[in-house]
């Protein structure tokens, strides 16, 4: 591991918390606790990796209830992040960066651009070479299909929370119950759909972690194989 990012800036130490599959509201409460701890400098930057049971979340920019088509038994939760309506569920890797941005990072739109580049590099590691951003939209796209969504919040002390959702082996049929981010549901795709096979979630997590130093300037500790145990701190530095 190097202790500097490609631009020469020092890497921040980081902890990676793999929660396995955990209820959205429980994870939301944990995020709040970690944000308070990070704001007070009682912990270092932390990246949560998690899958959620089926849930729709609606960001603070969502204005149109018409985007909720037929949720059925899937709950709809209003949250503080930016963005509109989206779906989380099994087979989707959600990552929540609880990062205290240093002075040269304190530009929320630019931080979102860095998250996009981080995801594109991670997806490339999985075998998808031409993922991209799309002008006028956040997230990561493959052609005209959306592969990953981004919605963050930033506190007054410049601590980030909420984050990204990458469709890995996601059941895309659940997007048919909403207009995701105000778009038609058939715009959504997944890593599995593009590759024609189902990548292991642990391999996806490892790819995401490997891309941290180059794109988010967070220190990558000695690599450790991701395990199936939930609620286990797998990396620290």
Q: Which of 130, 144, 45 is nearest to 95 (CA)?
A: 45
- Among 48, 115, 181, 212, which one carries the catalytic annotation? 181
Residue 26 token pair = 């429980």
Q: How far apart are the first and last CA of the chain?
A: 11
Active site residue 181: yes
Give the distance, in angstroms, between the CA of residue 191 and the centroid of all CA atoms in the same chain.
14
Structure-block tokens of residue 198? 């189902």
Tokens of 211: 């891309």
Distances (CA, A) of 9 to 6, 23, 81: 7, 37, 28
Annotated active-site positions, please?
Answer: 181
């Amino acid at each position: 591991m190097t202790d500097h990012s490609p631009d020469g800036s020092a890497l921040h130490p980081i902890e990676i918390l793999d929660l396995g599959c955990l209820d959205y509201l429980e994870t939301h409460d944990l995020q709040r606790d970690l944000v308070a701890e990070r704001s007070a400098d009682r912990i270092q930057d932390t990246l949560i990796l998690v899958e959620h049971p089926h849930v729709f979340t609606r960001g603070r920019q969502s204005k149109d209830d018409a985007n909720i088509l037929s949720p059925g038994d899937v709950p709809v939760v209003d949250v503080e992040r930016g963005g509109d309506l989206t779906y989380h569920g099994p087979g989707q890797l959600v990552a929540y960066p609880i990062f205290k941005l240093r002075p040269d990072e304190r530009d929320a739109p630019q931080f979102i651009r860095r998250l996009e580049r981080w995801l594109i590099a991670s997806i490339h590691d999985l075998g998808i070479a031409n993922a991209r951003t799309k002008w006028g939209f956040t997230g990561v796209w493959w052609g005209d299909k959306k592969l990953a969504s981004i919605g963050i919040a930033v506190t007054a002390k410049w601590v980030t929370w909420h984050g990204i959702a990458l469709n890995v082996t996601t059941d895309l049929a659940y997007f048919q119950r909403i207009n995701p981010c105000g778009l038609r549901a058939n715009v959504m795709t997944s890593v599995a759909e593009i590759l024609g096979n189902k990548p292991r979630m642990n391999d996806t997590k490892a790819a995401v972690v490997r891309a941290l130093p180059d794109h988010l300037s967070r220190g990558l500790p000695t690599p450790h194989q991701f395990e199936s145990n939930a609620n286990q701190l797998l990396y620290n530095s």
